[in-house]
Amino acid sequence: MRTLPHIEYELDLVLGAKETIAEGVVRLTLRDPQGQPLPAWEPGAHIDVVLGGGVVRQYSLCGDPHDTSIWQVAVLREQPGRGGSRYVHDVLGEGQPVHVRGPRNHFPLADAESYLFIAGGIGITPILPMIAEVAASGRQWRLVYGGRTRCSMAFGSELQRRYLQQVDIHPQDEHGLLDLPALLAEPVAGTAVYCCGPEALLVAVERHCAAWPAGALHVERFAPKGEAAAGPRVAFEVELAQTGIVLQVPASRSILEVVEVAGVPVLSSCQEGTCGTCETAVLSGLPDHRDSVLTDDERQAGDLMMICVSRSRSPRLVLDL
């Protein structure tokens, strides 16, 4: 698959269309107000959307990567959430300006002989463009898509219409939970498993894929892992290589907080270790990874970290800041 260089864009777009595509789900179509082409992106990418009051939320791009005239995201109304989705559903209207950052991709589509896609609810969004790319390549694939009810499952009818033989739509009120033990019982050589959805689904898929080859499973989280914040919190130092500044990070504060107080500009968004916005290169020292973004191999390499949540296993970290 193609791999684009990581470039961070700040764009002022306009909401060209807002449509209800499933129960509790709206699709937003974003355009450049002057009709200019938008930056390229690849399946799995997401953008930061700045909402009312400076609230920032991450949404997966779910349209066609080859159509540079628009970006599309789908947003689920989450009543117990922090207000971002309610703002999108109740306040944001067609024609209004929308400030965005990105695109950013921590869920890229890897090369494989075949693919098993597992989606839960709004977790279908990053998988949609993956399916289109894999289908166009002629490789084998299958989608198992679960949700509360059939009418709440965005893009379900479209997927069945386009890919009838390869799509299993599995509403919970009709069929119960996905049968993951049967689906993942036997590892399949050369098959990449991609999963996105609620945390309970991700944890279950990770458990059932324990016997699969290393690197076969790829997941994207909307919320931090339950154990992400676990572990001792002790003080340490960070050296900012670009200026030589050395800062003390107390047990009660994050690296990001300390760096920002020192007046060093750093992009950040979720502050939960899930979006990847604050990804920072580590030049020296041993990071204590507490994010939900990096793969096991990336954690082992130790040359990147999310400074909003991760800490240090060594007395000092040298960061490329």
Q: What pLDDT sits at residue 3?
A: 46
Q: What pLDDT sits at residue 242?
A: 94
pLDDT band (50, 70, 90) for residue 238: very high
Q: Give the mean pLDDT of 125-151.
A: 97
Q: Which amino acid is at 295?
A: T
Q: What pLDDT sits at residue 42?
A: 96
Q: Which of 52-66, 76-90, 174-188 has the highest mean pLDDT?
A: 174-188
Q: Which residues have a Cβ under 8 Å from the Cβ of 111 and sit 6 or more positions away? A: 1
Q: Which residues pair with 220 in a beta bridge?
A: 196
Distance between terminal CA atoms of the chain?
31
Q: Whole-number mean pLDDT of the chain? A: 92
Look at the block and give the residue holding tokens 């400074």.
Answer: 307
Q: What pLDDT sits at residue 270?
A: 80
Burial of 103 (0-12, 13-18, 19+ CB in 10 A): buried
- 227 or 280, which is more confident: 280
Neighbours of 253 (CB within 10 A): 13
pLDDT band (50, 70, 90) for residue 4: very low
- CA 24 – CA 176 distance, rounded (Å): 21
- CA 237 – CA 247 distance, rounded (Å): 6
Percent of the chain whose predicted confidence (pLDDT) is above 70: 96
Q: What pLDDT sits at residue 81?
A: 64
Q: What are phi and psi for residue 137, nearest 5 degrees?
A: -80, -15
- 51 or 14, which is more confident: 14
Q: What pLDDT sits at residue 224?
A: 73
Q: What pLDDT sits at residue 84?
A: 87
Neighbours of 238 (CB within 10 A): 24
User: Is residue 150 pLDDT above 90, yes or no?
Assistant: yes
Q: Which residues pair with 29 in a beta bridge?
A: 17, 72
- CATH architecture of the domain with range 114-220: 3-Layer(aba) Sandwich (3.40)
pLDDT band (50, 70, 90) for residue 1: very low
pLDDT band (50, 70, 90) for residue 226: low
Q: Domain boundaries in the chain?
A: 9-104, 114-220, 236-319
Query: For the domain 9-104, what is the CATH code?
Result: 2.40.30.10
Which helix (DSSP H) or strand (DSSP E) does residue 202 occupy?
helix 199-208
Look at the block and give the residue holding tokens 């990581």.
Answer: 6
Q: What pLDDT sits at residue 221?
A: 87
Beta strands in the chain (DSSP E): 9-22, 25-31, 46-50, 56-60, 71-76, 97-104, 114-120, 140-147, 167-171, 191-196, 217-220, 236-240, 245-249, 279-284, 287-288, 304-306, 311-312, 316-319
Q: What pLDDT sits at residue 275?
A: 83
284: nearest Cα among 226, 241, 233: 241
In CATH terms, is domain 236-319 a member of 3.50.50.60? no
pLDDT digits (tens, 9 = 90+) for 287-307: 999 998 888 888 899 999 999
DSSP secondary structure code for residue 285 in this structure: S
What secondary structure does DSSP assign to 76-138, as a single string?
E--TTS-SHHHHHHHT--TT-EEEEEEEE-SS-----SEEEEEEEGGGGTTHHHHHHHHHHHT
